[in-house]
């Protein structure tokens, strides 16, 4: 049985002042191998907590995570992470960063170099191989981060707002790249984002999470990711279904934010 | 006051000459086109000309007020009086007419032995006198000594150069001034001028020639290189030992809550204790030999290095560690490939601070007690009033301290080019 299954996941922790936070409550999700899931939600809805649990950095208070038939207990090379930024190793060159995973495993140098060369070709950074990562622009750094993650050939790729810090133009290019990589490699991807458009464009499936307690509010199946693999993303945005979907989700998140604000005012 | 005024005048004059006249049509780079420079830190670059003039001014001032032979004579501040001068005194004895006599004084440099000149005794009961007085010194001239009537028989000085004088009063004479002491003896003070006495501030060339002499002949049984070498050796060994213990300690404190809890109080307490305050205890425990010095420098470097390593570990971004784990790295590999390289910039900064502190501490420790070393050299020289050696030593200590800092910066640039780029 392949794929990722999340069963009744709950996360509750105590604060020093005696209160407790229900970061996640009864989150269940089935993800088939090769699916691309995007996760949206207002801040505080537990989406990063969810990702950290899947990555194995946090242990849930209850519930079960099963990937390809075995339970997730901690971080592992089968689940790669792409962070927003600043997670590259600035003391290593681009080549060394991309080759980090294979090096840790002790992959023979020839195989490793081959993988690195191939991936740098894919992300278009072959000419920047020997550069220090801090010499690259923000977009290029995220390409390195993608390549580094892929070099390990993980089953699942977890992305925590990987394009959040990029400017609008670079972001569009990177969105196409993510789609291309997804199609070419067939990886299962969970993508957390703040941008409704990005979630719609990239997510084959999309879940909107709600806060207090963190839970899945609504789930969608979307056609745009498949369309975007071959077409210009700006064309995809003209799809008749795209606008209404965006409005619907924006309103949904807007209402949640309002509720949080209102609740705060009542409390005060 | 006068030197300060001259310094300010040079500062202001150089400012106007360089900025208004010479550089008026100077650079036309990007920064020169900025209209807002006041408050823009990046627009404030050290003026190269100002730096050069500043250093030259220090030597110029030094030369002016020591009468340096490197400067043309007209630039010298007025020097002390040198040569022969005379003044007359009027002696009075009750029942006799007052009688005048001449005092001849030779004022000579301190290092030239000079005898009082031979003079004619003259007539009357007051006889002529002579004396030799060194520059910057004063001399009591017992004028009644050779007179026909002694002081105890009522011979008193009532005037100098015809001016009435009483005990405690002063009369200006050529080449100096004469003050009558409480017991009525004239005290001649040669004019000092504005220059510093070589005992307090030797001229630059005197310091230079003394330096050459020390380089050739050594000082107190050790050559100059040995003195400096001992100081450096102590610093390097003490620092190395401090780093060898401090860095692993800092890593342990950054990686384990038990180590953090255990050593935090010790480190946080020892850090603000100035190493100089440990000198007495170290001398009691380990004596004044090499062991004591190295223990002191070890303690000076230890806490700085431990704190630097600790903050280097704490400063690692958790996303880097998470990324490494999810790329399959083991704990050991995280240590080797993430935590250590990530902490190196902090460790280098700490090492630079520690080397600076160690250099200051070793000099201070040698001032207190040592057989050899830069600090011992200047302390011993000062006891014998060898001001030139003291100044030479201070300059050398400064140059070496500066050199150490430059060396550490250079090493940092070469070894951790990613500093501040994360």
The DSSP-derived string for B180-219 is E-TTS-EEEEE---SSPPTTTS--HHHHHHHHHHHHHH-B
User: Chain A contacts of B329, Cβ < 8 Å?
Assistant: 100, 104
Per-10-residue mean pLDDT of chain B, 422 residues long, equals 91 90 68 80 83 94 91 89 92 87 91 87 88 91 86 88 91 92 91 89 93 91 92 95 96 95 94 92 90 94 95 92 92 94 94 95 92 93 93 95 94 90 74
d(CA B304, CA B323): 30
CB atoms A87 and B323 under 8 Å: yes
CB atoms A132 and B417 under 8 Å: yes
User: Chain A contacts of B415, Cβ < 8 Å?
Assistant: none
Q: Above pLDDT 90, what percent of chain A? A: 17
| B7 touches A at CB < 8 Å | no
CB atoms A83 and B324 under 8 Å: no
d(CA B175, CA A108): 93
- When CB atoms are compared, the residue of A57, A87, A91 closest to B418 is A91
Nearby residues of B179 by Cβ (< 8 Å), 6 or more positions away: B168, B169, B170, B171, B186, B187, B189
Scanning B160-199 for CB atoms below 8 A from A yields: none
Q: Which of B175, B147, B200 is nearest to B87 (CA)?
A: B175
Lowest mean pLDDT among A160-169, A257-266, B279-288: A257-266
Residue A264 has pLDDT above 70, yes or no: no
pLDDT value at residue A268: 39
- When CB atoms are compared, the residue of B320, B326, B328 closest to A89 is B320
User: Chain A contacts of B327, Cβ < 8 Å?
Assistant: 77, 80, 100-101, 104, 148-149, 152
The three-state secondary structure class of B273 is coil
- When CB atoms are compared, the residue of A75, A88, A148 closest to B325 is A75
Per-residue pLDDT tens over the stretch A76-90: 888 999 998 878 999
How far off is chain A from B329, nearest CA to CA, in Å? 6
Calculated CA dihedral for residues B408, B409, B415, B416, nearest 10 degrees: 130
pLDDT value at residue B23: 66
A:B CB pairs within 8 Å = 75
Residue of A nearest to B333 (CA): A104
Residue of A nearest to B334 (CA): A104
pLDDT value at residue A267: 44
Residue B393 CA to its chain's centroid (Å): 8
d(CA B390, CA B402): 18
* Average pLDDT estimate for A4-15: 87
pLDDT value at residue B341: 94
Per-residue pLDDT tens over the stretch A36-58: 999 998 887 888 888 999 999 98
For chain A, how are helix, strand and coil distributed in percent, rounded to 5? 45, 25, 30
User: Chain B contacts of A148, Cβ < 8 Å?
Assistant: 323, 327
d(CA A77, CA A94): 20
| B417 touches A at CB < 8 Å | yes
Residue of B nearest to A141 (CA): B422
- When CB atoms are compared, the residue of B326, B330, B422 closest to A90 is B422
pLDDT value at residue B411: 93
How far off is chain A from B404, nearest CA to CA, in Å? 25
> In this prediction, does ipTM exceed 0.85?
yes
> Are B412 and B404 contacting, i.e. CB atoms less than 8 angstroms apart?
no
How far off is chain B from A217, nearest CA to CA, in Å? 28
Question: Rounded to the nearest 5°, which phi and psi values hold at B350?
Answer: -60, -40
pTM exceeds 0.90 = no
CB atoms B323 and A104 under 8 Å: no
d(CA A230, CA A123): 17
Which residue pairs, CB below 8 angstroms and at least 24 apart, start in B161-166?
B161/B87, B161/B88, B162/B88, B162/B90
Instruction: Tell me how far CA of residue A239 lies from CA of A174, A197, A224, B175, in angstroms.
Output: 20, 13, 8, 107
User: Chain B contacts of A105, Cβ < 8 Å?
Assistant: 328
Which one-letter DSSP state was computed for residue A207? Answer: E
| B325 touches A at CB < 8 Å | yes
* Average pLDDT estimate for A14-20: 86
Residue A185 has pLDDT above 90, yes or no: no
Residue of B nearest to A105 (CA): B328
User: Chain B contacts of A75, Cβ < 8 Å?
Assistant: 322, 325-326
Q: Which of the residues A54, A76, A88, A89 would you substitute to probe the B interface, choosing the one with the greatest number of B C-beta atoms within 10 Å?
A: A89
- When CB atoms are compared, the residue of B323, B337, B421 closest to A90 is B421
CB atoms A81 and B322 under 8 Å: yes
Per-residue pLDDT tens over the stretch B234-276: 999 999 999 999 999 999 999 999 999 999 999 999 999 999 9
d(CA B84, CA B414): 66
Residue of B nearest to A52 (CA): B322
The three-state secondary structure class of B325 is helix
Angle at A254 between CA A252 and CA A257, to 5 degrees: 115
pLDDT value at residue A214: 84
Per-residue pLDDT tens over the stretch A79-136: 999 998 878 999 999 999 999 999 998 889 899 999 999 999 888 888 998 999 998 8
- When CB atoms are compared, the residue of A56, A83, A154 closest to B323 is A83
Beta bridge mates, A70: A67
User: Chain B contacts of A86, Cβ < 8 Å?
Assistant: 317, 319-320, 422
Per-residue pLDDT tens over the stretch B37-69: 788 887 788 888 899 999 999 999 999 999 898
- When CB atoms are compared, the residue of A83, A89, A101 closest to B338 is A89
pLDDT value at residue A234: 81
């Amino acid at each position: 049985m392949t794929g990722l299954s999340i069963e009744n996941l709950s996360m509750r922790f105590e604060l020093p002042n005696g209160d407790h936070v229900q970061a996640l409550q009864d989150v269940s999700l089935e993800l088939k191998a090769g699916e691309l899931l995007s996760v949206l939600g207002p801040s505080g809805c537990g989406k990063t907590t969810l990702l950290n649990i899947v990555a194995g950095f946090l242990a849930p208070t209850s519930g079960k995570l099963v990937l390809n038939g075995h339970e997730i207990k901690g971080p592992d090379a089968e689940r790669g992470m792409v962070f927003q930024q600043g997670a590259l190793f600035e003391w290593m060159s681009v080549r060394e960063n991309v080759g980090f995973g294979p090096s840790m495993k002790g992959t023979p140098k020839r195989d490793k170099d081959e993988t690195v060369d191939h991936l740098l070709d894919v992300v278009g950074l072959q000419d920047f191989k020997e550069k220090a990562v801090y010499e690259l622009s923000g977009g290029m750094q995220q390409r390195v981060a993608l390549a580094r993650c892929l070099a390990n050939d993980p089953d699942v790729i977890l992305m925590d707002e990987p394009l959040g810090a990029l400017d609008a133009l670079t972001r569009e290019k990177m969105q196409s790249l993510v789609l291309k990589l997804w199609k070419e490699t067939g990886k299962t991807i969970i993508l957390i984002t703040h941008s409704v458009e990005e979630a719609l464009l990239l997510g084959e499936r999309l879940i909107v999470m709600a806060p207090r307690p963190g839970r899945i509010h609504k789930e969608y199946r979307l056609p745009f990711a498949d369309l975007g693999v071959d077409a210009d993303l700006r064309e995809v945005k003209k799809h008749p279904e795209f606008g209404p979907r965006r409005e619907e989700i924006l309103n949904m998140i807007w209402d949640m934010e309002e509720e949080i604000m209102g609740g705060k005012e009542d409390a005060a | 006051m006068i030197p300060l005024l001259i310094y300010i005048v040079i500062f202001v004059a150089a400012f106007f000459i360089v900025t208004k006249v010479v550089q008026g049509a100077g650079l036309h780079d990007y920064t020169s086109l900025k209209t807002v420079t006041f408050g823009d830190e990046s627009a404030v670059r050290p003026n190269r000309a100002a730096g050069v003039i500043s250093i030259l001014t220090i030597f110029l001032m030094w030369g002016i007020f020591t009468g340096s032979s490197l400067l043309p004579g007209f630039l010298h501040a007025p020097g002390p009086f040198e040569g022969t001068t005379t003044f007359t005194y009027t002696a009075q004895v009750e029942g006799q007419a007052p009688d005048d006599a001449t005092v001849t004084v030779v004022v000579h440099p301190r290092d030239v032995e000079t005898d009082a000149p031979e003079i004619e005794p003259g007539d009357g009961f007051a006889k002529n006198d002579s004396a030799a007085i060194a520059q910057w010194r004063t001399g009591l001239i017992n004028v009644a000594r050779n007179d026909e009537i002694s002081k105890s028989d009522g011979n008193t000085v009532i005037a100098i150069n015809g001016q009435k004088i009483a005990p405690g009063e002063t009369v200006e004479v050529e080449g100096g001034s004469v003050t009558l002491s409480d017991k009525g003896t004239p005290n001649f003070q040669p004019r000092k001028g504005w220059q510093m006495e070589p005992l307090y501030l030797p001229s630059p060339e005197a310091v230079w020639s003394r330096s050459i002499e020390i380089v050739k002949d050594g000082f107190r049984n050790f050559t100059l290189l040995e003195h400096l070498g001992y100081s450096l050796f102590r610093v390097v060994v003490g620092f190395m030992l401090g780093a060898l213990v401090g860095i692993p300690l800092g890593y342990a404190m950054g990686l384990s809550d038990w180590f953090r809890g255990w050593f935090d109080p010790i480190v946080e307490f020892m850090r603000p204790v100035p190493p100089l305050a440990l000198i007495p205890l170290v001398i009691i425990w380990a004596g004044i030999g090499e062991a004591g010095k190295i223990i002191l420098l070890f303690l000076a470097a230890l806490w700085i290095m431990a704190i630097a390593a600790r903050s280097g570990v704490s400063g690692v971004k958790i996303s880097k560690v998470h990324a490494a784990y999810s790329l399959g790295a083991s704990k050991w590999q995280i240590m080797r490939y993430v935590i250590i390289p990530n902490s190196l910039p902090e460790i280098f900064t700490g090492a630079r601070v520690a080397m600076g502190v160690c250099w200051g501490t070793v000099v201070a420790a040698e001032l207190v007690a040592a057989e050899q070393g830069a600090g011992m050299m200047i302390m011993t020289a000062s006891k014998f009033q060898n001001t030139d050696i003291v100044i030479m030593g201070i300059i050398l200590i400064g140059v070496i301290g500066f050199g150490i800092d430059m060396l550490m910066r250079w090493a940092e640039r070469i070894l951790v080019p990613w500093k501040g780029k994360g």
